[in-house]
Amino acid sequence: MADRRGLLIILSSPSGAGKSTLARRMRDWDPGIAFSVSSTTRAPRPGEVDGKDYHFVTEPEFKAQVANGDMLEHAHVFGNFYGSPRGPVQHAIDQGRDVLFDIDWQGAQQIRNSALGQHTLSIFLLPPSIPELRKRLEGRGQDDAATIARRMQRSWDEISHWDGYDFVLVNDDLDVTETQLKTIVAATRLRRLQQPELTEHVRKLQSEFEELA
């Protein structure tokens, strides 16, 4: 048995609030943190690798996985399906590895309501301001004006669910937010539920106590 049970670390935010950058920093901090590779029905973008960036599947394949209970969460976003396969996540947390999810509030809710929900740690990132959020989206240079407009419209829907998370951080400074994330994860790893060996240790203490009586 692993020394501890892994966490399902959910990191959510509107586009442009920094979750992808912070997710990378968390994995640099602890390379043992696994990243949940989502399945999607959208076409690969230039440079994306199947099985590394996403599992690229057809819509019938995706729907079959959902029907078979093989997805921890799934959603329909901008005309495509996205979801988190359950098998690799179950294996990782059983081995004592944390799994990081870069997903929206709908996916977070589904995971919290799943069979693995008791092992989740959910964190939401807020931008310092809406003008700053737009500035970051435009500064990435990845999307055209229409796509940025759609992301901005969607951002308030994301932000309105901030109170459904365990922790909420205002990402005004990446370095400060990174430190806060590390502190939260380190503390939650010590949660009683994540330490399966504690039950046996308490039994041992009880036995030793009785021997002294």
Phi, psi of 133 (to 5 degrees): -60, -45
Question: Residue type for 176, please?
Answer: V
What sign results for the dihedral spanned by CA atoms 194, 196, 197, 198? positive
CATH architecture of 8-36+96-212: 3-Layer(aba) Sandwich (3.40)
* Residue 56 · residue 71 · CB < 8 Å: no
**Beta strands at 120-126 and 39-40: parallel, antiparallel or unpaired:** unpaired
What size, in residues, is the chain?
213
144 band by pLDDT with thresholds 50, 70 and 90 = confident
Find the helix or strand (DSSP H, E) in which 10 lies. Answer: strand 8-12
- Where residue 133 falls among pLDDT bands split at 50, 70, 90? confident
Judge contact between 70 and 85, C-beta under 8 A: yes
At 74-130, the pLDDT tens digits run 989 889 999 999 999 999 999 999 999 988 898 899 999 988 999 999 999 999 898
What is the value of pTM for the model shown? 0.83
> Closest Cα to residue 15, out of 120, 114, 135, 110?
135
Q: Which amino acid is at 115?
A: A
